[in-house]
Amino acid sequence: MTDIKKRLISIKKSIHRAEDTANRSHGSVELLAVSKTWAADTLRQANQAGQRLFGENYVQEALKKITELIDLNIEWHFIGPIQSNKTKDIATHFHWVQSLDRLKIAQRLAQQRPKNMPDLNVCIQVNIDNETSKSGILPAELFSFAQQISKLDNLILRGLMIIPTKTTDQKQQRISFKKACTLFEKLAEKYPSVDTLSMGMSADMILAIEEGSTMVRIGTALFGERTLRNSNK
């Protein structure tokens, strides 16, 4: 068995345990494999071990892998900052965009989504802790932003993505996750297409699931530490 397969099995076990703790059914939390900096071969191994959802942060790097892995059944999620000159590549190659936080970018993605492809699934990135100079829509602006997004053709609003303040204080982490979950539930009441709360990474996955995450984004725990050697950035 490959190391990746072993780690994948162990992560899935942890997810199931956290689902049990939270009285949630198995399968209520999806696993997104965050594969930035890792070569296509590594992703292929993970896919052969059963992983279907992959998240990428850099467009150029992702396009190379998407082309190399075109023979596989992979759902591609874009989770990095979006420059306007990259929206066309994103709109034509990805199934999901989780890092949406500007209307202009959303409009470009909507215009550039090819008509023969299904709607692009989008999550709004929320700056849940109101941190200065951090990506994401402020919680206070979420509902007016969501309304604008919901009017665009070729996009479908699926939910929220959050990256909380970096801290090891579990109390603080729970507060951020709870805030996100409350916003998510309100949003889902208003928009029936909303079913995804993307929160939790390698270090805080368990807490995130206990507080209502429906998708965890896992890089390090699955692929190992990202080093300069495998990094393009």
Ligand X SMILES: *Cc1c(COP(=O)(O)O)cnc(C)c1O
Given 220, 231, 232, 233, the residue binding ligand X (CB under 6 A): 220
Distance (Å, rounded) from C-alpha 171 to C-alpha 213? 16
Q: What x-and-dash track marks residues 133-172 binding ligand X by CB under 6 A?
A: ------------------------------x---------
The SS3 of residue 121 is strand
Q: Does 215 participate in binding ligand X (rule CB under 6 A)? A: no
Q: Which residues pair with 124 in a beta bridge?
A: 100, 160
Q: What x-and-dash track marks residues 191-210 binding ligand X by CB under 6 A?
A: ----------xxx-------
Pairing of strands 215-218, 96-100: unpaired
- Residue nearest to ligand X as judged by C-beta position: 219
- Nearest distance, CB of residue 168 and ligand X, angstroms: 13
Count of Cβ atoms closer than 10 Å to residue 48 Cβ: 12
User: How many residues of this chain interact with ligand X, rule: CB under 6 A?
Assistant: 13
Beta-sheet strands, E only, within the chain: 30-34, 53-56, 75-78, 96-100, 120-126, 155-162, 196-198, 215-218
Q: Does 57 participate in binding ligand X (rule CB under 6 A)? A: yes
Which of 144, 91, 137, 139 has its CA nearest to residue 118? 91
Any idea which residue has 């292929």 for tokens?
Answer: 44
- Nearest distance, CB of residue 16 and ligand X, angstroms: 18
Choose the stretch contacting ligand X; rule: CB under 6 A; options: 66-74, 106-114, 174-182, 213-221.
213-221
- Nearest distance, CB of residue 153 and ligand X, angstroms: 27
Q: What x-and-dash track marks residues 67-86 binding ligand X by CB under 6 A?
A: ------------x-------
Question: Would you say 221 and 7 are in contact if contact means Cβ atoms under 8 Å apart?
Answer: yes
- Nearest distance, CB of residue 32 and ligand X, angstroms: 8
Given 77, 108, 158, 217, the residue binding ligand X (CB under 6 A): 217
Q: Does 219 participate in binding ligand X (rule CB under 6 A)? A: yes
- Nearest distance, CB of residue 222 and ligand X, angstroms: 8
Which of 129, 127, 147, 146 has its CA nearest to residue 137? 127
Query: ∠ at Cα 130 (171, 160), nearest 5°?
Result: 85
Question: Which residues are near ligand X by CB under 6 A?
Answer: 34, 36, 57, 79, 163, 201-203, 217-221
